[in-house]
Amino acid sequence: MNIPKELKYSKEHEWVKVEGNIVTIGITDYAQSQLGDVVFVELPEAGAEFSAGSGFSVVESVKAVSDIYAPVSGTVVESNEILADAPETVNQDPYGEGWIAKIEISGQAELGELLDSEAYEKLVAEGGH
């Protein structure tokens, strides 16, 4: 299981890469392995505002349709258009080319509520809930 140390994680299996006030968000290696082959990703619109915990994307796989929740509050500045034509990129490179969106965060406080890699690894070891 790939759990990069430099990222933050949500309990809903999203990862967050922090770069100043911009965060890149995707789903974890664990999440994509549970979903199976991803066949469609509904991307959030640039300019859309989301609160932490609200649904901001949908990932469809051969097994299920899953809501992806915003791990932090903010405004979408970019969506990964590659996923419109190649949704399988989420499976192939979940922490790289398979990112879903970049959000300008409303405030730094919510970042403190995210899990570090060790806490996320423990969550996954306990069955992912």
CA-CA distances (angstroms) from residue 72 to 21, 61, 110?
Answer: 11, 24, 6
Q: What percent of the chain has pLDDT over 90?
A: 94
Q: What is the pTM of this model?
A: 0.94
Cβ pair 63, 35 in contact under 8 A:
yes
**Residue 11, class by beta-carbon neighbours within 10 Å (0-12 exposed, 13-18 middle, 19+ buried)?**
middle
- Average pLDDT of the segment spanning 70-84: 97
Cβ pair 74, 106 in contact under 8 A:
yes
pLDDT at 128 over 80: no
pLDDT, one tens digit per residue, over 17-49 is 999 999 999 999 999 999 999 999 999 999 999
Strand partners, 15: 9, 26
- Average pLDDT of the segment spanning 94-103: 98
pLDDT band of 129, cuts 50, 70, 90 = low
pLDDT band of 76, cuts 50, 70, 90 = very high
How crowded is residue 112: how many other Cβ atoms within 10 Å of its Cβ?
7
